[in-house]
Amino acid sequence: MKSRLSPPIVKLPLCLAPLGFLALASLALGQGIPFNGKTGFATPSPVSLLQPAAVQDKAAKIILPEVNFHDATLPEAINFLRIKSRELDPAKSGINLLVSSGGNPDAKLTMNLTDIPLSEAVKYIASLAGLKVRLIPYAIMLEDPSTNDSPAPPPAKPGTPDAVLWERAMKMIVPRIQFHGTTLAEAVDFLRWKSGELNGKPLNIFVKGTPASAAAKLDLDVTDVPVAQALGWCASLAHLGMHVKGGTFYFHPLEENID
């Protein structure tokens, strides 16, 4: 009989295909936080990046010796910065960089810079791609300039069992998550399984999706992130909100009112 905690199938990028098992294993080595589709929240990791100011400070201290692109795509440029940030970070965790929809996805990026802080390189890339930069807990987000920056409401009512569940999920830290062209269903299945591995019992996750969220392909390459935060980022990238309600992590259309 198949265990209910068996790891789900997650699509891996072509560059990892020859390493299939090892690549999936790298996703599974870790521990897990909540979200609303706007901003995530988490408990401290070894180097706490809960506060956006801490993310900015770390990104400013990572100096890239050279950034040389010629007609690079946005995914290529962001992936380069991810890799270099981890190489140059003494802790080897780097900076998590997320890209939401919007801007000019077909932009060709050309730049030649030396000895530049990662934080500044991200701003130049965002400018060329028609995106804005927003600091969020654990990451830097590149998103459409029209995105509302207002703070997200609490993911659970304080003092309730849902808030306790939220706090528990915020303590499950996953060392590495790599989704490339992954569907929301696949991402949720993986994080559900991961929460069970870390907590002994998987989180309840319910997705009330939309045609757009069902068709969304998620690209997420992050380190040292709580499960709940990862769930929130997945919701955001699929243009959904997320709350904890009735003991369940509930993904829902952004326009839906949550009591």
Measured CA to CA in angstroms, residue 156 lies from 44, 209, 227, 257, 259 at distances of 19, 20, 16, 14, 10
Find out whether 34 and 233 touch, Cβ atoms under 8 Å: no
Please, which pLDDT band fits residue 126 given cuts at 50, 70 and 90?
A: very high
Find out whether 175 and 30 touch, Cβ atoms under 8 Å: yes
Tens of pLDDT, residues 191-225: 999 999 998 999 999 999 888 898 888 999 999 89
Residue whose tokens read 């709580």: 226
More confident site: 90 or 47: 90
Residue 50: the pLDDT is 64
pTM of the model: 0.74
| Class of residue 245 by CB neighbours under 10 A (exposed 0-12, middle 13-18, buried 19+) | middle
Residue 158: the pLDDT is 86
What percent of the chain has a predicted confidence (pLDDT) above 90? 56
Residue 205: the pLDDT is 96
Least confident of 4-18, 67-81, 127-141, 142-156: 4-18
Residue 53: the pLDDT is 86
Which residue ranges make up each domain of the chain? 14-43+151-253, 52-143
In angstroms, the CA 111 to CA 93 distance is: 25
- pLDDT at residue 47 tops 60: no
Residue whose tokens read 């989180």: 203
Query: The tokens of 235 are what?
Result: 């919701």
Of 51, 95, 23, 41, nearest in space to 236 by CA: 41
Kindly report the average pLDDT of the chain as a whole number. Answer: 81
In angstroms, the CA 87 to CA 66 distance is: 13
Q: Which CATH architecture has domain 14-43+151-253?
A: 3-Layer(bab) Sandwich (3.55)
What percent of the chain has a predicted confidence (pLDDT) above 70? 78
Tens of pLDDT, residues 4-29: 444 444 443 433 333 333 333 333 33
Which residues, in sequence order, are bridge partners of residue 225?
174
**How far does Cα 32 stand from its chain's mean position?**
12
Q: Which CATH number fits domain 52-143: 2.40.50.100, 2.70.98.40, 3.55.50.10, 3.90.226.10?
A: 3.55.50.10
